[in-house]
Amino acid sequence: MLASFLLFQGCDQSGTQGQNADKQADSTALQAESFATPVTSADTAKATNPTNTIQIVNPKYNDFARLVAGLPIDANSPFKKYDTLANYKVFASDLEKSWSKIDGSRFSKMREWAKTELAEANKDHTDLFYPFSGPDFVNAYNLFPQADNYTLIGLETIIPFPDLDKYNKKMVDNYFFSVAESIEDLLEKSYFLTRRMANDFQRGKAEGILPALCLFIVRTGHTITNIEQVSIDADGKFVLSSIDSVGTKGMRGVKVSFFNPSENRQKSVCYFRQDASDSGLKQSPNFAKFLQNLPTCNAYFKSASYLLHFQYFTTMRPLVLEKAKFILQDDTGMPFRFFDKSKWDLTLYGVYDKPIKDFTYMGQKDLKAYYDSLKAANAVKAMPFDLGYHWGTKDNNLIRAIKK
Q: Measured between alpha carbons, how far is 99 from 113 in angstroms, rounded to an integer?
A: 19
The phi and psi torsions of 171 (rounded to 5 degrees) equal: -65, -40
Cα–Cα distance between 185 and 280 in angstroms, integer? 27
Choice between 15 and 334, residue whose per-residue pLDDT is larger: 334
The yes-or-no verdict on residue 204 having pLDDT over 60 is: no
Q: Which residue has the higher pLDDT, 26 or 133?
A: 133
Average pLDDT over residues 91-101: 90
The mean of the pLDDT values for the chain is 83
Phi, psi of 374 (to 5 degrees): -75, -35
Residues in Cβ contact with 17 at an 8 Å cutoff, skipping those fewer than 6 apart: 131, 132, 153, 154, 155, 274, 275, 276, 277, 280, 307, 313
270-304 pLDDT, tens digit per residue, is 999 999 999 999 999 999 999 999 999 999 999 89
For 218-249, the pLDDT digits (tens) are: 999 999 999 999 999 999 999 999 988 776 56
- How far, in Å, CA of 125 to CA of 127, rounded? 6
Q: What is the pLDDT of residues 22-42, one digit of tens each?
A: 433 333 332 322 233 333 333
pLDDT given at position 184 = 75
Q: Give pLDDT tens digits for 386-398.
A: 887 876 677 899 9
pLDDT tens digits, one per residue of 183-199: 876 666 544 444 444 44
* Higher per-residue pLDDT: 95 or 188: 95
What does 355-376 look like in DSSP terms, one character per residue?
--GGGGGG--HHHHHHHHHHHH
**Which of the pair, 178 or 13, is modelled with greater confidence?**
178
Given a cut of 90, whether residue 255 has pLDDT beyond it is yes
